Chains A and B, each alone.
Chain A
């Protein structure tokens, strides 16, 4: 297992399967009345969040605490960072405090890669700019596996603002590694200009790929895109690229609906679709804790068994 989790592109198929299988083991613990394992006792995990993301932060916090790690939450607001401290100085501070792992969320693409140069501990990318969000992709793959089984040959359609989406980038790499066939769907304005070497298909036409999808994953559309001429209006976007009950009806019967959250109900996804039985949105949150436990466990305790013999 590697030292950091910066990008899903760095994961081999064996790495990815090890994380997912470990998560499967750990999921059993989540079902118990006492959810805590002693595995990371005495280890320190720092949640270093330069962007507000309560959902992701508490998911990592819960994951670390269930493994008995000490958790320090470092939020940029109101800290030395807002007084102009550089990422490097923050890194050196965490290093001096003996952080075994740093979970970083940052608005700048590549910030976790830079951080990894300056700390000895493991760095986990919890979302960097418009680059990647590896644990989101892992929890998505975990959720798909639980619903659909093996991902080899499964057709996954990801719809929305691919240009600015860290979720899309991480999912494309990971799902390709796991053998799934990925199609990205977006208006041309929300796709990078040169995607020839991405291991996926690209389409501008949602309806054309709907019936050929085992998974439809909707991405959040940020409000700021609406004022920057990426598309004419929220209404038009919703008509062309939103998942409404009518489109849901044209998906294969077993196909599932996913969304990394937070959702814009009525924009990229209709409320009825978000709440229907084929939607995995709430499961994704549950699975997020489990998958992050697996990641922290594998980065910090290497080859020891995840669940000791003393259960």
Chain B
């Protein structure tokens, strides 16, 4: 199938015509100067063309919690959000800690066809933190796993973390750490600060994240390996990562859209009253000062990328008292809009910056071939078209995700994905799944 995207602003630049042919970008030229004979014409005037987004951190819940999300529904949500590849986290049931499970998830992704699914392998068997999972077998499997993470649980044992970092060097892997010192966060419900003190909810102190990040940066430097830090949430973490990078160490980091926009104040004061666990997430929403530091760090590249930590939960796991509720929020279908709101409309990032932080860098960290751009002739036709001028009221009723736990319900956000192409084939057209 051949498509001519007419008048698209590549990375927010001047309008161009883009010809997609046989899965690749065949030609990019001035409007009217690209021969689109026989191609499907798509009016892309006013739309921004970005390389297909890549998520380093998605929970697709299959196998095990198909009531919350499936590979089919989660990847549909991803495509609608402008993604052409997602990394599926390992904390499924059974855990993705063997070649068999990662290959199953990878195949489910291929069958769904909405976007590429790159499984993440568990670092330790059963996420139990006692012994390494068969990392090499997962790396050598059809799923070609390169990112390993016990996400949801911290690899808190320093020796085990050291061994994991060393071991993955053999196949250019990376350990993505969920930084949470377990003893400092027993029973933790929300950011430890003024709000938790008033609400009487057990605090999750920033130091519990920062202490692990500092330790792991030092470990990665010591063994000369690659470390990636999941969902950085505090200003202190940013300083430590900035310091580690200044040493030349191979440390990368991600931030979620919700940590770029929301604060712990929502636990106390929201349109739906206090204690609504729709705002309960791990790591927790932090303070305004943390949000400011995270935005600046993403803008200056200290934080490499945005990752959604899309975490679907069924209604009954959120319609509860706060401490009983599951942690996490969905984010695939709102990520780009939130980044536009938090980073673009504030002048912190331009669209080329967004492409770098949401596509190029996550693809590079995940060693994902064929994704991450750049948008130029000869590159695989993985791209998304965004209408930056639209504003929309978030209504999870219309989401492709099976879950509804979005913290943005009722908010008006800028920017909507109009079309997404995966290797030249549209997965989304006119804002709808094809």
**A interface, CB within 8 angstroms of B:** 86-88, 106-111, 113-114, 116-117, 128-132, 164, 166, 169, 192-198
B273 touches A113 (CB 8 A): yes
Assess A132 versus B200: contact at CB under 8 Å? Given A86-B316, A193-B192, A193-B193: yes
CA gap between A191 and B324 in the complex, in Å: 24
CB distance from A238 to the nearest CB of B (A): 25
Residues on B lying within 8 angstroms of A by beta carbon are: 189, 192-194, 196-203, 205, 272-276, 316, 319-324
Q: Are A194 and B197 within 8 A (Cβ)?
A: yes
Partner of B197, one of A88, A117, A132, A193: A193
In terms of DSSP, what is the predominant structure of the interface of chain A? loop
The distance in angstroms between the C-alpha atoms of A110 and B194, with both chains bound, is: 16
Bound CA span A114–B278, Å: 12
Contact between chains at A193 and B205 (CB < 8 Å)? yes
Q: How far is the CB of A288 from chain B (nearest CB, A)?
A: 21
* Interface contact A192-B196, CB-CB below 8 Å: yes
Taking A130-B200, A192-B198, A195-B194 as known contacts, 16 extra A-B pairs with beta carbons closer than 8 A to each other, sorted by chain A number, are: A87-B324, A88-B319, A108-B324, A109-B189, A109-B199, A110-B201, A114-B320, A114-B322, A129-B323, A192-B203, A193-B192, A193-B197, A194-B193, A194-B194, A196-B194, A197-B194
Q: Specify which chain B residues have a CB less than 8 angstroms from the CB of A87 in the assembled complex.
A: 320-321, 324
Q: Across the A-B interface, how many residue pairs have beta carbons closer than 8 Å?
A: 75
Q: Are B192 and A110 in contact (CB under 8 A)?
A: no
User: Do residues A88 and B320 form an inter-chain contact, with CB atoms below 8 A?
Assistant: yes
**Which B residues are in CB contact (< 8 Å) with A106?**
321
Contacts of B203 in A (CB 8 A): 192-193
Measured CA separation A82–B272 after assembly (Å): 28
Residue of A with least CB distance to B323: A108
**When A and B form their complex, which 3 residue pairs have the shortest distance between CB atoms, in order from nearest?**
A192-B197, A110-B275, A131-B200
A110 touches B199 (CB 8 A): yes
CA A87 to CA B316, docked complex, whole Å: 10
> Within 8 Å CB of A86, what residues of B?
316, 319-320
Evaluate contact between A166 and B200: CB separation under 8 angstroms.
yes
CA distance A86 to B324 in the complex (A): 10
With A166-B200, A169-B200 as contacts: A114 and B194 at CB distance below 8 Å: no
Least Cβ–Cβ distance between A165 and chain B, in angstroms = 9
Q: Is A113 a contact partner of B274 (Cβ separation < 8 A)?
A: yes
Bound complex: CA of A107 vs CA of B187, how far in Å?
13
Nearest residue, chain A, Cβ from B205: A193
A191 to chain B, nearest CB (A): 8
The answer for the CA separation of A87 and B324 in the assembled complex, in Å, is 10
Contact of A129 among B192, B198, B200, B319 (CB under 8 A): B200
Task: Contact check, A114 vs B321: say whether CB atoms are below 8 A apart.
Answer: yes
Residues of chain B within 8 A of A117, CB atoms compared = 272-273
**Which single residue of chain A is at the shortest CB-CB distance from B324?**
A108
* B324 cross-chain contacts in A, Cβ below 8 A: 87, 108
Chain B neighbourhood of A169, CB < 8 A: 198, 200
Provide the residues of chain B in CB contact with A131, threshold 8 Å: 199-201
Q: Report chain A residues within 8 Å CB of B202.
A: 130
Give B193's nearest chain A residue, CB to CB: A194
Q: What chain B residues lie within 8 Å of A116 (beta carbons)?
A: 273
CB pair A110–B322 under 8 Å, yes or no, is yes
* Cβ contact within 8 Å between B323 and A109: yes
Q: Which residues of the partner chain A approach B322 to less than 8 Å between Cβ atoms?
A: 108-110, 114
Q: Which residues of B contact A107 (CB under 8 A)?
A: 323
Chain A residues with Cβ below 8 Å from B205 are 193
Q: Which of A108, A166, A196 contacts B321 (CB 8 A)?
A: A108
Q: Check B321–A111 contact: CB distance below 8 A.
A: yes
Q: Are A195 and B200 CB-contacts (below 8 A) given A108-B324, A113-B275?
A: no
Complex Cα–Cα for A81 and B85 (A): 43
In whole angstroms, how far apart are the Cα atoms of A130 and B203 in the complex?
Answer: 12
Q: Report the Cα distance A49→B189, complex, angstroms.
A: 23
Q: Smallest distance from the beta carbon of B296 to chain A beta carbons, Å?
A: 23
Residues of B within 8 A of A164 (CB): 200
Are B273's CB and A109's CB within 8 A? no
A109, B275: Cβ atoms closer than 8 Å: yes
Interchain CA distance A124-B197 in the complex, whole Å: 22
Q: In the assembled complex, how far is the CB of residue B321 from the closest CB belonging to chain A, in whole angstroms?
A: 4
Q: Pick the residue among B189, B197, B323 that contacts A195 (CB under 8 A).
A: B197
Would you call B200 and A109 a contact (CB within 8 A)?
yes
| B residues less than 8 Å from A166 (CB atoms) | 200
